[in-house]
Amino acid sequence: MFYAKHPVQSYHSIDLPEIIWNGALTLWNALPNETFQFVTSKTVGEKRFNFYPAQFIDNIPKGHFDIIFNISSFEEMDKEVRDRYVHGVKEWAKKPTLFINLNRRRLLKENGKMWDNHPLFYPYNPEEIVLDWSVDRMQETVRTNSTSSLFAVYPKSFAMIRLSLIR
């Protein structure tokens, strides 16, 4: 959808390897004439669609992106990995850059201890101005405590959208 409305020079996706394959296959089926690349430690150059397995996060171009999305991945990361990603955003951004972050609250276990991965507690960059915070109404509606819901989450999910400007 974004591609159809906003054709840009290149798109970059960072995720777990199995998710990247799924995303690439979906895009390739929809856009068979576009160029794709799976970024590894030896990859040079850039294609229209670039896929980064999480272990190659250091290969992401610096000062390159006009808009950065993070959707539903912080809630699954260890605190250290999540914080590294949040701080990496300022390095990847071509300033000014919009950073759109949609994640939900989860209690996670790390090194045998529980911790609260609440979107309001995500770290901030000094170069970041939060333009808007709001509750993700779709997530709040779908993820109810009803046992009849396919997506029921216990306890109820708290999903937030954070729109910020990286300067």
Question: In 3-state terms, the chain is what percent helix, strand and coil (to 5)?
Answer: 30, 35, 35
Which residues, at least 6 apart from 145, have a Cβ–Cβ distance to it below 8 Å?
A: 152, 153, 154, 155, 156
Query: Could you read off the pLDDT of 117-143 as tens digits, one per residue?
Result: 888 788 877 778 888 877 766 666 666
Tokens of 162: 């954070």
Does pLDDT of 78 surpass 70? yes
Q: How large is the average pLDDT for residues 9-38?
A: 88
- Residue 158 and residue 23: Cα distance in Å, rounded? 26
Lowest mean pLDDT among 2-6, 60-64, 95-99: 2-6
**CATH code of the domain covering residue 16:** 3.40.50
Does pLDDT of 144 surpass 70? no
Does pLDDT of 116 surpass 80? yes
Task: Name the nearest CA neighbour of 157 among 87, 76, 93.
Answer: 76
Half-sphere exposure of 13 (CA within 13 A, CB side): 19
111: left (phi over 0), alpha (psi -120 to 50) or beta: left
- Residue 12 and residue 35: Cα distance in Å, rounded? 12
Q: How large is the average pLDDT for residues 22-38?
A: 90
Determine the pLDDT at residue 29: 92
Q: Which residue has the higher pLDDT, 119 or 92?
A: 92
Domain housing 48: 2-166
Q: Which residue has the higher pLDDT, 87 or 158?
A: 87
1 burial level (CB within 10 Å; 0-12, 13-18, 19+): exposed
Determine the pLDDT at residue 33: 92
Q: What is the pTM of this model?
A: 0.76
Per-residue pLDDT band at 156 (split at 50, 70, 90): low
Mean pLDDT of the chain: 81
- The domain tally of the chain equals 1
Per-residue pLDDT band at 146 (split at 50, 70, 90): low
